[in-house]
Homo-oligomer: A and B are copies of this chain.
Amino acid sequence: MLDDAARREIESATGLHDFYLEQLFTFGDPSRDPRSHVVSVAYMALVPHAYEPAPHPDFPRGHWFEFTSLPPLAYDHGEMAAYALRRLKAKLEYTNIAYAMLPREFTFAELEELYALILDRPIDRRNFRRRIMSMGILQELARKRGGPHRPAALYSFVHQSLHSIEML
């Protein structure tokens, strides 16, 4: 129900459907006014990294920012964004959550770049590949992506919904 409201909001702002949505935290009084009694339930939505917003009639003055270059936000919204990023970083390590930000088919390099971008640190290609493969969240496809250089193997996620890796 709360989820539905959040989902509708993102849908109307982006035109996207079927994006990943996760509740983060509920803030008791995010407003500057101590008497307002506003309760804000914060959500994080994940959209394909390639997404670019089209100018939208309902939000002519809206803005879209890369999470890496967020401007200062009003109220406690900066706190919310920081919290979202923290959660996302954590889930990259033990879930397949990256599926929500990549196209159905992608190369290992693209996956690696996404991880490096979000985790904000360099990643060793060989160790990364070994670690991800041992999670068993990817399947290699028969097709390869052509281009000016050596063709890259294409992968897709086994599941297109959130799955945690059990740690024994």
Contact = CB atoms under 8 A, between A and B. Distances in A.
A75 interface: no
Interface string A133-166: 0000000000000000000000000000000000
Contacts of A67: none
B23 A26 contact: yes
Contacts of A26: 2, 23, 26, 41
A29 interface: yes
Interface of A: 1-4, 23, 25-29, 37, 39, 41
Give 8 nearest A-B pairs by CB, closest first. A1-B28, A2-B28, A26-B26, A1-B29, A26-B41, A23-B26, A3-B28, A2-B26
Q: How many copies of this kind of chain does the complex include?
A: 2
7 contacts: A1-B29, A1-B37, A2-B39, A3-B28, A23-B26, A26-B26, A26-B41
Given A23-B26, A26-B26, A26-B41, 12 more contacts: A1-B28, A1-B29, A1-B37, A2-B26, A2-B27, A2-B28, A2-B39, A3-B28, A4-B28, A23-B25, A39-B39, A39-B41
Contacts of A27: 2
Contacts of A23: 25-26
Contacts of A25: 23
A143 B67 CA distance: 52
Nearest to A34: B1
A37 B2 CA distance: 10
Contacts of A29: 1
A166 to B, nearest CB: 13
